[in-house]
A and B are shown apart, each in its own frame.
Chain A
Amino acid sequence: MARALINVPATAKKGEAVEIKVLIQHPMETGFRTGPDGKLVPRDIIQRFSCTYDGQEVFAAELHPAVAANPFFAFFTLATASGPLIFKWTDNAGKEESQSADIAVT
């Protein structure tokens, strides 16, 4: 499983803006570089990243070959209900990874 560092506050007050930080381990290989054998290294990038919370997509991003390895996302969302934030990312081969983190809203 892909490793990701996910920072979601454990608790928040209802209506509060909370900062979410996600760092995903990924080579983000552009597909333009050559390997030691002189052949192109196949492209391997995350194409889409999204965060779903309380039944709604609260953040999404499209990534391109120029994005550096181990992409880092930081964004804010309003704490509305206790429950999981589900992070999903899909690579250019269509492989989907998912991780979640819980937040308790009081």
Chain B
Amino acid sequence: MKRALVIAALGFSLAAGLAVAASDPRRSGFDFMSRETQAMQKDDFSNPGMLWVQDGADLFKARTGTSGKACADCHAEPSMKGVAARYPAFNAKTSRPIDLQGRINQCRLDRQGAPELPLEGHDLLALTAYVAQQSRGLPVSPATDPRLEPFRRQGEALYKKKLGQLNFSCADCHDANAGRRLAGAPIPEAHPTGYPLYRLEWQALGSLQKRMRGCMSGVRAEPYGYGAPEFVAIELYLMSRASGMPMETPGVRP
């Protein structure tokens, strides 16, 4: 029975184009969802994240700022393929890691002469989703810059640090109890392969930072602000933890 289930699950993940090596014990949040929600993510005409991707495609071509340049004037579309799979990257200017949203804002400020877009706003999420969608199906391949190592270690420490009135760390649920249930909902393994993703609960697209803020208020901790260096460090650690898993952006999650 168990073997049949494994074979069925494998067949399904192959069909979804989300094939991970059979020996890989890691599972994406996708595998914990109902069939209906999986079908929603797989069909680009029923995946609401595609609405943001299309908005992002328009924004990518829109000229803006004092330079009068659009993103597409420098970045021909194929050049964005695989970009999201290797972020967060090292930002030499600040000597810190920078995530994809931060990089888009930095590019606007420095090269386009346009104001930064508000974090978690519609336009920045749309642009990020458009760029990340081009990496869909590619394996997560974290940046190898050795200068990122201390930040990755900081992210790991934060992931394992107990927080809030409930005194939980990320690892207490997502490592120690992954696959079990919390109030009826399955606890996934915290692989950030589908971000920014459409959460049915949010009825909107949201970033990994929004997801983490939700978890932090869930354990009654004070969430870090959007764009906080702590979040970027955790993103860095989570992406290295998910190394090799296929990107799913825009994902759909319950």
Judged by a CB distance under 8 angstroms, whether A21 is at the interface is yes
Judged by a CB distance under 8 angstroms, whether A25 is at the interface is yes
Judged by a CB distance under 8 angstroms, whether B204 is at the interface is yes
Judged by a CB distance under 8 angstroms, whether A7 is at the interface is yes
A68-B203 contact in complex given A7-B45, A23-B45, A23-B46, C-beta closer than 8 Å:
yes
A25-B203 contact in complex given A7-B45, A72-B46, C-beta closer than 8 Å:
no
CB pair B200–A3 under 8 Å, yes or no, is no
State the total of A-B contacts with C-beta under 8 angstroms.
31
Q: A23-34 toward B: CB 8 Å interface, digit per residue (1/0)?
A: 101001000000
CB pair A69–B204 under 8 Å, yes or no, is yes
CB pair B204–A5 under 8 Å, yes or no, is no
Interchain nearest-CB distance for A33 vs B (Å):
11
Stretch in B49-57, B62-70, B99-107, B150-158 touching the partner: B49-57
Q: Name A25's closest neighbour in chain B (CB-CB).
A: B51
**With a CB–CB cut-off of 8 A, which chain B residues contact A23?**
45-46, 48, 50-51
A3-B51 contact in complex given A21-B45, A23-B46, A72-B46, C-beta closer than 8 Å:
yes
**With a CB–CB cut-off of 8 A, which chain B residues contact A3?**
51, 54-55
A74 and B54 alpha carbons, distance in the complex (Å): 20
Judged by a CB distance under 8 angstroms, whether A52 is at the interface is no
Judged by a CB distance under 8 angstroms, whether A70 is at the interface is yes
A16 and B50 alpha carbons, distance in the complex (Å): 28
**With a CB–CB cut-off of 8 A, which chain A residues contact B51?**
3, 5, 23, 25, 70
Interchain nearest-CB distance for A30 vs B (Å):
11
Q: State which residues 3-44 of A face B: CB under 8 Å.
A: 3, 5-7, 21, 23, 25, 28
Q: State which residues 62-85 of A face B: CB under 8 Å.
A: 68-70, 72, 74
**With a CB–CB cut-off of 8 A, which chain B residues contact A72?**
46, 48
Q: Name A71's closest neighbour in chain B (CB-CB).
A: B48
A21-B200 contact in complex given A3-B51, A3-B54, A70-B51, C-beta closer than 8 Å:
no
A21-B54 contact in complex given A68-B203, A69-B203, A69-B204, C-beta closer than 8 Å:
no
CB pair A68–B46 under 8 Å, yes or no, is no
A3 and B203 alpha carbons, distance in the complex (Å): 16
A7 and B45 alpha carbons, distance in the complex (Å): 6
**With a CB–CB cut-off of 8 A, which chain B residues contact A25?**
48, 51
Q: State which residues 29-48 of B face A: CB under 8 Å.
A: 43-46, 48
Q: Name A74's closest neighbour in chain B (CB-CB).
A: B46
A5-B203 contact in complex given A25-B51, A70-B51, C-beta closer than 8 Å:
no
- Please indicate which of the listed interface residues B45, B200, B203 has the most CB atoms of chain A within 10 Å of its own CB: B45
The 7 closest A-B pairs by CB, nearest first: A69-B203, A7-B45, A70-B48, A25-B51, A21-B45, A5-B45, A3-B51
| Other contacts beyond A25-B48, A68-B203, A72-B48: 19, CB < 8 A | A3-B51, A3-B54, A5-B44, A5-B51, A5-B54, A6-B45, A7-B45, A21-B45, A21-B46, A23-B45, A23-B46, A23-B48, A23-B51, A25-B51, A68-B200, A69-B203, A69-B204, A70-B48, A70-B203
Could you list some 24 contacts between A and B, CB below 8 A? Answer: A3-B51, A3-B55, A5-B44, A5-B45, A6-B45, A7-B45, A21-B45, A21-B46, A23-B45, A23-B46, A23-B50, A23-B51, A25-B48, A25-B51, A28-B203, A68-B200, A69-B203, A69-B204, A70-B48, A70-B51, A70-B203, A72-B46, A72-B48, A74-B46
